[in-house]
Amino acid sequence: MSHKFNLPARYGTGEKSVWVEYIQLAAEYKPAVNLGQGFPDYHAPEHVTKALAEITTGENPLFNQYTRGFGHPRLVQNLAKLYSPLVGKEIDPNNEILVTSGAYEALFSTIMGHVDEGDEVIVIEPFFDCYEFMIKTAGGIPRCIALKPKATSGTMTSADWVLDEAELVSLFNSKTKMLILNTPHNPLGKVFTAQELETIGNLCKKYNVLCVSDEVYEWMVYAPNKHIRIASMPGMWERTITIGSAGKTFSVTGWKTGWAYGPANLMRNLQVVHQNCVYTCCTPIQEAVARSFEFELSRYNSPECYFFSLARELLSKRDYLVKVLRENGFNPTVPDGGYFIVADWTKLEKKIDLQSESDKYKDYRFTKKFAKEAGVLAIPPSAFYSEDHKHLGENFARFCFIKKDENLALAENLMKEWNAKKK
pTM (two decimals): 0.96
**What is the C-alpha separation between 358 and 356, in angstroms, rounded?**
7
Backbone phi, psi, residue 215, to 5°: -120, 35
Q: Render 345-379 in DSSP notation, one character per residue.
A: -GGGGGGS-GGGS--SSHHHHHHHHHHHHHSEE-B
Q: Rounded to whole angstroms, how far apart are CA atoms 382 and 369?
A: 16
Residues 6+ apart with CB under 8 A from 174: 207
Count of beta carbons in the 10 Å neighbourhood of residue 49 = 17
Are domains 9-44+305-421 and 46-298 of this chain identical in fold? no
What letter does residue 199 receive in the DSSP assignment? H
pLDDT value of position 252: 98
Which helix (H) or strand (E) is 244 found in, with range? strand 240-245
Q: Number of H helices and number of E strands within the chain?
A: 13, 15
The angle formed by the CA atoms of residues 355, 358 and 361, to the nearest 5 degrees, is 90
pLDDT 10s digit of each residue in the chain, 423 long? 578 899 999 998 888 899 999 999 999 999 999 999 899 999 999 999 999 999 999 999 999 999 999 999 999 999 999 999 999 999 999 999 999 999 999 999 999 999 999 999 999 999 999 999 999 999 999 999 999 999 877 789 999 999 999 999 999 999 999 999 999 999 999 999 999 999 999 999 999 999 999 999 999 999 999 999 999 999 999 999 999 999 999 999 999 999 999 999 999 999 999 999 999 999 999 999 999 999 999 999 999 999 999 999 999 999 999 999 999 999 999 999 999 999 999 999 999 999 999 999 999 999 999 999 999 999 999 999 999 999 999 999 999 999 999 999 999 999 999 999 987
> How confident is the model at residue 408, as a pLDDT?
98
- Candidates 3.90.1150.10, 3.40.50.2300, 3.40.1350.10, 3.90.220.20; CATH matching 9-44+305-421: 3.90.1150.10
Q: pLDDT digit string (tens) for 233-249?
A: 999 999 999 999 999 99
Q: Note the Cα 274 to chain centre separation in Å.
A: 20
Q: Where are the domains of the chain?
A: 9-44+305-421, 46-298
pLDDT of residue 1: 59
Q: Is the peptide bond before 85 cis (omega within 30 degrees of 0)?
A: no
How many other C-beta atoms lie within 10 A of the C-beta of residue 45? 17
Separation between Cα atoms, residue 293 and residue 383, nearest integer Å: 34
Report the DSSP beta bridge partners of residue 124. Answer: 145
- Give the 3-state secondary structure of residue 398: strand
Beta-carbon contacts of 266 under 8 Å, excluding residues fewer than 6 positions away, are 114, 210, 239, 241
Instruction: Give the burial string for 359-390 (b: 16+ CB within 10 Å, else e).
Output: bebbbbbbbbbbbebbbbbbbbbbbbbbeebb
| Cβ partners under 8 Å of residue 390, min gap 6 | 361, 382
Burial grade of 215 (CB within 10 A; 0-12, 13-18, 19 or more): buried
pLDDT digits (tens, 9 = 90+) for 153-176: 778 999 999 999 999 999 999 999
Alpha-carbon distance 273 to 267, whole Å? 10
What's the rounded Cα separation, in Å, for the pair 46 and 294?
Answer: 14
Q: Cis omega (within 30 of 0) on the bond before 224?
A: yes
Beta bridge partners of 181: 213
Residue 276's CB is within 10 A of a number of other CB atoms, namely 10
- 97 bridge partner residues: 261
CB 348 within 8 A of CB 329: yes
What is the fold of 46-298?
Aspartate Aminotransferase; domain 2 (3.40.640)
Measured CA to CA, the distance from residue 403 to residue 389 in angstroms comes to: 30
Q: What's the CA gap between 330 and 323, in Å, rounded?
A: 10
State the Cα angle at 290 between 288 and 295, rounded to 5°. Answer: 95
In this prediction, residue 422 carries a pLDDT of 84
d(CA 384, CA 29): 24
Contact between residue 401 and residue 339 where contact means Cβ atoms under 8 Å apart: yes
Q: What confidence score (pLDDT) does residue 152 get? A: 75
